Structure 1
Amino acid sequence: MCRALEPLGLVWIEEPLDAHDFEGHAVLASTFDTPIATGEMLTSTAEHAELIRAGGADVAQPDAPRIGGITRFLKVMALADHRNLQLAPHFAMEIHVHLAAAYAREPWVEHFEWLDPLFDEHLEIADGRMHLSPRPGLGASISDQVRACTVAEHEIRA
């Protein structure tokens, strides 16, 4: 299928195999001209390190919340940078736009308009680029709509 898609000039082919098939992704990445993007379903720095060591991705797609936060994401980002991989973080653009901005090569960042109601502020997108907010921290706060669906405290009784 990858060979059949090559004439279309795709930017990448995303997770063509099971996310944990690092060797299989490596075979595809070394065989085809279209870059292989994968990693969004991985849940740890160690899994990303194994994928990158195997040569299973041309485009790393870590997900900070899924792998344990910003510090672990930065570790994956350093591994990807060491191998000169492209970066396209998965989901959670309010977090990833800041992390991607620190990457050595221009990254990709996903955008989902349907998440806009979750936040009071919105990412500025102009000319195909996301712009970092000048606001403190991640630059976004959850909306009243989200607050209405959350619980400040919950007691668990044995």
Structure 2
Amino acid sequence: MTAVREHLGDDVPLIVDANQQWDRPATQRMGRALEQFGLIWIEEPLDAYDAQGHAALAASLDTPIATGEMLASVAEHQELLRHNAVDLIQPDAPRIGGITQFLKLAAFAEHQHLQLAPHFAMEIHLHLAAAYPHEPWVEHFDWLETLFNERLRISDGRMHLSSRPGLGIALSEQARAWTQAVREVGTRP
């Protein structure tokens, strides 16, 4: 971390993602050791369902704690919120039940003045994050670009919403070739 911070300088935001690999004592040690680097957050230091452990970390460390990407419902996220276990919530709209469920969770997060950093699927999350009243973070995965005909416009570290209708994306022919089955809903035989 020292070499990374020295190489990038103090103006570049750094985040550490533990990906649920640390136990509570290791997270406390690592969290204290990493505080000197001015991290934006430590992501998923503990098991995603350890609300009490995340709450203890959030209370004891200066570095914000982020988690939620692996949770599969609004109710599971509410457990984190109930325990004051996160400084930054990371819901994944497809995983928690879609756009409506994401917006419900975002309302709870806003009420607690949490930061938002949706997980994965930036083509969906960019639009949802843009509706959040506090400036959010949105992950970018360039290896997903082959799935879509359109590309997200990114400049100066910011993603820009398109003016195309809906989410502004269409599946590419390559993505369509990977389709295993097709079902039509709402049609009669």
Does TM-score exceed 0.5, indicating one fold? yes
Given the two structures, how large is their TM-score scaled by the length of structure 1?
0.95
Matched residue SS, 2:66: strand
Superposition pairs of residues 60-99 of structure 1, within 5 angstroms: 60-99=89-128
Distance of 2:165 and 2:118 partners within structure 1: 21
| Same amino acid, percent of matched pairs | 69
RMSD: 0.9
Query: Residue 58 in 1 paired to residue 87 in 2?
Result: yes
Superposed CA offset, 1:75-106 (max 9, x none): 11011100000000000000000000000110
For 2:95 and 2:101, the matched residues in 1 are separated by: 10
What's the counterpart of residue 26 of structure 1? 55
CA deviation after TM superposition for structure 1 residue 152, in Å:
4.8
2:179 is aligned to 150
**What's 2:167 paired with?**
138
Are residues 1:100 and 2:124 paired?
no
- Measured in 2, the distance between the counterparts of 1:81 and 1:55 equals 13
Q: Which residue of 2 aligns with 1:111?
A: 140
Instruction: Give the TM-score normalised by structure 2.
Output: 0.80
Where 2:159 maps in the other structure, the secondary structure is strand
Gaps of 5+ in 1: none
Provide the C-alpha distance between the structure 2 equivalents of 1:139 and 1:68, rounded to a whole number of angstroms. 20
1:43 and 2:72 are equivalent in the alignment? yes
Cα distance in structure 1, aligned partners of 2:180 and 2:117: 33
